[in-house]
């Protein structure tokens, strides 16, 4: 009896993110008839595409037990550089390519200090967080910058009925998912995250793997920044602030561990990002007091992390139970 | 001579202090107004609340945790305390009584947030980073919601005098910071709890098996950190003469940067009160000097980031000279 009970608790906990996501959607659906319209659901997906892309990059870093606090600054830098370049008369595609290069370079800088000097990622990316935001503010002269119409068009265009941001998101998620689950590179990322020392002894190129996850994270941050400004049409001096925390929260909600080696992009991180965005979207639709947004978002994330840790404790307990039989 | 100095530098744990002294001397020569009485007072008053908050953070980090919620603790205790004291609130106590009540309330708020963090980390098994991230979102949102993002003015004179009053020629903020440092030093170095804190940080499992009250130790560190943040809030609120829901917003990374630059390990078990003092001194000197040179806000951010990186590299090279080649 006890075992069955424990097993059913575990089943509930195993799918906690999905259940919570469903609970949030159903709650908002009851509170407002507009929430469940196709229009709104596709809106949620469009709005969450930027966060989901950034969180995908963050997932790679978290899988190696690292962390990247600089993604918000990279996003901001991406926005500023693209706005500047377009203002100087460069074609749109060139601006986009440059921005993606800048993001990747930013990841390279992070990775260089982490693997050359063995400084912990937290400190390196804390430093590049400052440098990136400062440099972005310097370039933009701390002013909000409007983007040309062309950018907004990218944000609202649809290809084969699929909105462009969602299409980008789909490509990113799909390639990340395939890279993590089907390639040797993906397996090596998990191995390094589980135990870097053992991975090194097994002959894996640990340094190269660490380098590449930060490159991926920087690239995704720049791409996510582009997708976000294509929807906003402007870059304010606070653009991307706290995005690093939201991206980490989305990845953790999706079941990725802060301690490395555990997690996935699909469905995990995607659901995490969409969950966060659904809360924001739902609160707007039910006309909640704007001051309550951070309170509710914080409380819900707290609840999800709590469930995740209960799941972990349950696992440990059942393992002990199994051992005693 | 130089070789001797080099050897001493590599052996001692005062390297950050030497850097500070060097920086101080250089800046005194090249920056007009740096070595003035007024600026030194200014420096001292900026330093004190930061020292107090960072000491609390050090204790949490010693257990292997982290407290991101300190800024929201500062904001919430500032507005709650201020609304108890303000003559606008119409509670109608006489000024000195309301000062006592206000300070008491502020410290209780800090302790309460610390308790929430500590219990969530220990009893519910949640990762410290996520717990304090969500409590940061929640309580700073709470502070903004309570005040509807208005500042609270008209605090009693007896409270405002705290930042300017002296006790036997020593300003109260200095007394408070010295007090906190002494208490932390005493606890960490001479009591059983201090030994437990280091033991928990070094290895939780071993500590638990050896009979350490792990949960109690961790919870008391978070509570201490919360109280320290609230004490910082008392000084900031008294100095700015307002209770503000965004108070302390920008000091989170300064505090964590200071503690880590000082040499305290993010993984726990290694750190000293003295180191944190040096780290805070370093960050404050840097901020102050760059401000006086007339660098803009964003250039200061860039330099701060680079310096954090530089200090981290120095730290690593000192421990592992082999990486220099």
ipTM, 2 decimals? Answer: 0.79
A316 touches chain B (CB under 8 A): no
Can you give the pLDDT at residue B215? 93
Task: Count CB-CB contacts under 10 A for residue B87.
Answer: 14
Provide, as residue numbers in chain A, all residues whose Cβ is less than 8 Å from the Cβ of B148.
291
| Nearest residue, CB atoms, B145 vs list A132, A258, A292 | A292
Cα separation, A279 vs A18, whole angstroms: 14
Residues in A closer than 8 angstroms to B320, CB to CB, are: 118
Chain A residues in contact with B268 by the CB 8 A cut-off are none
Domain boundaries B34-318, corresponding CATH code: 1.10.3470
Q: What is the pLDDT of residues A196-221, one digit of tens each?
A: 888 888 888 888 898 999 999 999 99
pLDDT at position A77, please? 92
Coil, helix or strand for B150?
Answer: coil
Give the pLDDT of residue A324: 45
Give the Å distances, CA to CA, from A11 to A5, A17, A311, A317, B146: 10, 12, 9, 14, 40
Of A67-71, A76-80, B28-32, B181-185, the least confident: B28-32
| CB-CB neighbors (< 8 A) of A135 in chain B | 298, 302
State whether A126 and B257 contact (CB < 8 Å).
yes
Alpha helices in A183-292 (DSSP H): 184-194, 196-201, 206-232, 243-253, 270-285
Residue A155 has pLDDT above 60, yes or no: yes
Q: Is the pLDDT score of A325 beyond 60?
A: no
For residue A121, the distance in angstroms to the closest alpha carbon of chain B comes to 11
First-to-final CA distance of chain B: 24
Scored b (16 or more CB within 10 A) or e, A102-122 reads: bbbebbebbbebbbebebbbb
Q: What is the pLDDT of residue A147?
A: 81
Q: What is the mean pLDDT of residues A11-17?
A: 70
Task: Write down the pLDDT at residue A13.
Answer: 67
- Give the residue from A117, A297, A307, A316 with the most B CB atoms within 10 Å of its CB, the best one to mutate: A117
Higher pLDDT, A187 or B29: A187
Q: Which of A235-249, A273-287, B3-17 has the lowest mean pLDDT?
A: B3-17
> Is A131 in Cβ contact with B313 (below 8 Å)?
no
Tokens of A223: 């791409």
Residues of A in contact with B256 (CB under 8 A): 126
Q: Is residue A18 within 8 angstroms of chain B, CB to CB?
A: no
pLDDT at position A303 over 70: yes
H helix runs in B148-245, sequence order = 157-160, 172-190, 192-202, 204-209, 214-240
Candidate from A291, A299, A305 with C-beta closest to B130? A305
pLDDT band at residue A222 using 50, 70 and 90 as cut-offs: very high
| A36-74 pLDDT per residue, tens | 888 888 888 899 999 999 999 999 999 998 889 899 999
Q: What's the whole-number mean pLDDT along residues B171-193?
A: 91
Chain A CA closest to residue B258: A123
The angle subtended at Cα B258 by Cα A236 and Cα A73, nearest 5°, is 20
Instruction: Tell me: pLDDT of B152 over 80.
Output: yes
pLDDT greater than 60 at residue A264: yes
Decide which of A36 and B143 is more confident.
B143
Distance of CA A157 to the CA centre of its chain: 23
* The predicted structure's pLDDT at residue A72: 93
Q: Which helix (H) or strand (E) holds B167?
A: strand B166-167
Question: 3-state DSSP call for residue B195?
Answer: helix
pLDDT of the residue at A195 = 86
**What pLDDT score was predicted for residue A212?**
93
Work out the average pLDDT over B262-288. 87
Q: Answer whether residue B196 shows pLDDT above 90.
A: yes
Position A322 confidence tier, pLDDT thresholds 50, 70, 90 = low
Per-residue pLDDT at A323 exceeds 70: no
Q: How confident is the model at residue B170 (pLDDT cuts 50, 70, 90)?
A: confident
Q: Is the pTM of this model over 0.90?
A: no
By Cβ distance, the residue of B135, B301, B312 closest to A130 is B301
* A91-134: pLDDT as tens digits: 888 988 999 999 999 999 999 998 888 888 888 898 898 899 99
For the segment B83-121, what is each residue's pLDDT rounded down to a tens digit?
A: 888 877 666 667 778 888 889 999 999 999 999 999 999
CB contact under 8 A, B134 and A298: yes
Contacts of B138 in chain A (CB under 8 A): 294-295, 298-299, 302
pLDDT at A259 over 80: no
Of A236, A29, A40, A266, residue with least CA distance to A141: A236
Question: Which chain B residues contact residue A302 at CB under 8 A?
Answer: 120, 131, 134-135, 138
Contact call for B141 and A294, based on CB within 8 A: yes
Q: Is pLDDT of A1 > 70? A: no
Q: How far is B178 from chain A (nearest CA, A)?
A: 28
Write down the pLDDT at residue B90.
Answer: 61
**What mean pLDDT, rounded, does chain A reach?**
86
Average pLDDT of the residues in B240-263: 85
| Residues from B in contact with A at Cβ < 8 Å | 120, 124-127, 129-131, 133-138, 140-142, 144-145, 148-149, 253, 256-257, 260, 266, 296-306, 308-309, 312-313, 316-317, 320, 323
Q: Read out DSSP for B221-285?
A: HHHHHHHHHHHHHHHHHHHHTSB-TTTTTT-HHHHHHHHHHHT--TTSS---HHHHHHHHHHHHH
Q: Is 90 exceeded by the pLDDT of residue A14?
A: no
Angle at CA of residue B95, ends B98 and B113, nearest 5°: 25
Domain boundaries, chain B: 34-318
- How confident is the model at residue A298, as a pLDDT? 85
In this prediction, residue A170 carries a pLDDT of: 93
pLDDT in tens, B1-15: 677 766 766 666 777
A135:B302 CB<8 A: yes
């Amino acid at each position: 009896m006890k075992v069955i009970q424990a097993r059913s608790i575990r089943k509930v906990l195993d799918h906690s993110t999905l259940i919570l996501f469903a609970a949030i959607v159903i709650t908002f659906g009851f509170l407002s008839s507009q929430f469940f319209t196709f229009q709104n659901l596709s809106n949620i997906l469009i709005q969450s595409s930027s966060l989901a892309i950034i969180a995908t990059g963050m997932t790679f870093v978290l899988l190696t037990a690292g962390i990247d606090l600089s993604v918000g600054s990279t996003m901001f830098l991406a926005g500023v550089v693209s706005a500047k370049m377009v203002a100087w008369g460069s074609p749109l595609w060139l601006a986009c390519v440059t921005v993606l290069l800048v993001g990747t370079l930013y990841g390279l800088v992070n990775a260089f200090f982490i693997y050359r000097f063995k400084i912990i990622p937290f400190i390196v990316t804390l430093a590049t967080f400052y440098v990136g935001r400062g440099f972005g503010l310097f370039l933009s002269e701390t002013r909000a910058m409007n983007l040309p119409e062309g950018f907004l068009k990218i944000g609202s265009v649809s290809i084969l009925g699929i909105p462009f941001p969602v299409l980008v998101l789909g490509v990113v998620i799909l390639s990340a998912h395939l890279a993590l689950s089907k390639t040797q590179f993906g397996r090596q990322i998990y191995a390094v995250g589980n135990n870097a020392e053992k991975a090194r002894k097994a002959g894996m190129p640990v340094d190269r793997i660490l380098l590449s996850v930060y490159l991926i994270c920087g690239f995704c941050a720049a791409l996510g920044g582009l997708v976000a400004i294509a929807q906003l049409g402007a870059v304010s001096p606070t653009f991307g602030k706290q995005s690093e925390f939201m991206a980490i929260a989305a990845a953790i909600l999706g079941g990725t561990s802060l301690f490395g080696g555990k997690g996935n992009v699909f469905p995990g991180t995607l659901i995490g990002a969409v969950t966060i965005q659904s809360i924001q979207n739902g609160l707007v639709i039910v006309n909640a007091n704007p001051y309550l947004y951070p309170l509710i978002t914080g409380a819900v994330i707290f609840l999800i992390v709590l469930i995740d840790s209960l799941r972990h404790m349950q696992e440990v307990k059942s393992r002990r139970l199994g051992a005693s039989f | 001579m130089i070789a001797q100095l080099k050897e001493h530098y590599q052996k001692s744990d005062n390297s950050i202090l030497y850097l500070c002294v060097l920086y101080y001397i250089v800046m005194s020569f090249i920056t007009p107004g740096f070595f003035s009485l007024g600026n030194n007072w200014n420096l001292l008053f900026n330093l004190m609340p930061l020292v107090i908050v960072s000491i609390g953070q050090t204790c949490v980090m010693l257990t292997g945790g982290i407290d991101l919620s300190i800024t929201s603790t500062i904001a919430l205790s500032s507005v709650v305390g201020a609304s108890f004291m303000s003559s606008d609130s119409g509670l109608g106590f006489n000024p000195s009584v309301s000062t006592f009540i206000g300070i008491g309330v502020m410290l209780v708020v800090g302790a309460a947030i610390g308790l929430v963090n500590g219990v969530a980390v220990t009893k519910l098994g949640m990762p410290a980073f996520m717990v304090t991230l969500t409590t940061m979102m929640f309580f700073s949102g709470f502070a903004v919601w309570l005040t509807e993002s208005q500042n609270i003015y008209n605090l009693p004179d007896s409270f405002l005098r705290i930042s300017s009053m002296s006790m036997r020629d020593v300003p109260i903020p200095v007394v408070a910071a010295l007090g906190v440092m002494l208490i932390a030093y005493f606890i960490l170095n001479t009591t059983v709890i201090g030994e437990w804190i280091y033991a928990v940080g070094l290895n939780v499992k071993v500590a638990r098996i050896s009979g350490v009250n792990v949960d109690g130790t961790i919870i008391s560190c978070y509570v201490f950190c919360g109280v320290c943040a609230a004490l910082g809030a008392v000084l900031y609120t008294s100095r700015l003469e307002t209770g503000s829901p965004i108070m302390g917003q920008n000091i989170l990374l300064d505090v964590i940067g200071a503690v880590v630059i000082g040499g305290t390990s993010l993984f726990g078990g290694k750190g000293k009160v003295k180191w944190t003092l040096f780290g805070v001194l370093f960050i404050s000197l840097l901020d102050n000097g760059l401000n006086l040179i007339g660098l803009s806000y964003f250039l200061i951010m860039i330099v701060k980031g680079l310096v954090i990186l530089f200090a981290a590299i120095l730290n690593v090279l000192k421990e592992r000279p082999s990486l220099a080649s």
